Amino acid sequence: MGGLRTLTAPFVVPGPAGVSIRARLRVSDTDTAVLREVGLFLGSLAAGDLAERCRQGLTHGTASWSQRKRELTRRSSSRWAGSITKATHDQWALARRGQVAHMTWLRGQIAQIEAKLARPLGAKADKQTGLPRGYATQQEWHTKCRRLRMLQNRLAPVEADWAAGRVRVVRGGKHLARTRHHLDQAGLTKQVWRERWEAARMFLAADGESGKPWGNESIRATDTGQLSLKLPRDAQLRHALTQLLHYTRRRGAAAIAIEDLDFADAKSREKHGRNKRFRRLLSRFPTARLRARLVAMAAEQGLRIVAIDPAYTSRWGAQHWQQPLTTPTRKTTRHDAAAVAIGRRALGHPIRRRTAPPPHDQRDRAGHRTAQAGPDTWRREGTRPRIPGPRTGSVPPGCGAKAGDQRAQHRSGHAAEHASWHQDALPLSL
């Protein structure tokens, strides 16, 4: 026979290790602007999620919750989506508990008034039977009758909302919303009230995660008083791409040209060695995410995406288009010129402004040389054909030093630029 089981000594269960932090931050003006934008953006997501949860009412379930969280994840991140949906559920549950408390209070008031109305005027309370006292005068009795009807009318819609699962929630507070109509009495200006209203409707909170030091991956507060905040970078991309697509539709364009950039090879240590800062900078470029998001959003708008080779777009754009596009009222930057080069390559036009030679009879008769090859010209960016026969008495035909070698440094079929020609100075001894 086995012995008895050894009993362990009782112990006191420790309290929760997590804490709730709510404090003011001392940040710079730039950080204040960033936090404000993030809070307003996440607040708008929280407002939309709360409205959707209120519309679902009692039909809410796991499937609808997952759908809401997926929609928020596309616009922010999975962690922010989890924080927003949890806050929405807590707010909806708080509103339901408020409905129960309100109904309980209304029913209690109605029961007390009905019990007193049933007693004769001036009757005293009976402690043995528990009967309440009656009202002293006829006027008081009549006033309580009116209040009874008012409470019953207030109870009916609350019970209907409870049965249907409807809640009435004001993000920012009902008291602050009503203050908008009484600014003079509250001693507030419209601007001050607007700032308080926006601050109350912001969302910038996250729940702690087990096993995560200093909070979670979204918000971390160290013991030294430093706070780190992980922003939704995908939401920023969607906002920028939405503005781009709307601008494209307004202009009547049918496609968007982008460079087919890939920093996979540039991130390797073999290429840049110990330059960790530069490799870390390249890793922060969300090129793959931007390209995938742009293609998906453009397809919904019926727009096409044309990917081009990024070879020499910045160099040739600045060389051939920055100065011609600059006007006294507008200065064309290097990026603007590169955008022109990208658009011309996407449309099938050459980037370089190839010119025709001047008339052989008079150099200045035709003015500035602006003729260039058309978009349908075959091999328009290739090397110019060699004219048979000697051009000078010292160079035989076909013996140019760099004849046919114009594509040595070109990756996309566009020939490299011709070097400018200049006349050497004559020796003084002649």
Residues 261, 191, single domain; the answer is no
Answer with the one of 330, 347, 364 that is the final residue of a domain.
347
The DSSP code for 361 is S
Give the number of domains in the chain.
2
Range with lowest mean pLDDT among 9-23, 34-48, 114-128, 193-207? 9-23
Nearest in space to 132 (alpha carbons), one of 152, 113, 107, 150: 113
Q: Provide the pLDDT for residue 273.
A: 54
Identify whether residues 184 and 86 lie together within a single domain: yes
Q: Are residues 184 and 283 in the same domain?
A: no
Closest Cα partner for 371 from 383, 355, 358?
355
| The dihedral sign for the CA sequence 139, 141, 143, 149 | negative
Residue type, 173: G
Q: How many residues does this entry show for the chain?
A: 430
CB 80 within 8 A of CB 216: no
The answer on 195 and 246 residing in a single domain is no
Domain final residue pick, 310, 330, 347: 347
For 244-298, how does the pLDDT look when each residue is reduced to its tens digit (9 = 90+)? Answer: 899 999 989 999 998 887 655 544 444 445 566 655 665 555 666 777 778 888 8
- Of the listed ranges 101-115, 159-173, 189-203, 260-274, the one predicted with least confidence: 260-274
**Residues 159, 256: one domain?**
no
Lowest mean pLDDT among 48-57, 241-250, 335-344, 367-376: 367-376
CATH code (residue 239): 3.30.420.140
Examine the domain organization and report whether 169 and 102 are in the same domain: yes
Based on the fold, state whether residues 172 and 242 are members of the same structural domain: no
* Distance, CA of 147 to CA of 114 (rounded, Å): 11
φ, ψ of residue 299 to 5 degrees: the values are -65, -35
- Pick the last residue of a domain from 299, 331, 347: 347
Range of the domain at 78: 29-209
Assess if residue 392 is contained within a domain.
no
Residues 205 and 35: their CA atoms lie apart, in Å, by: 12
CA angle 191, 196, 197 (to 5 degrees): 95
Indicate whether 191 and 269 sit together in one domain.
no
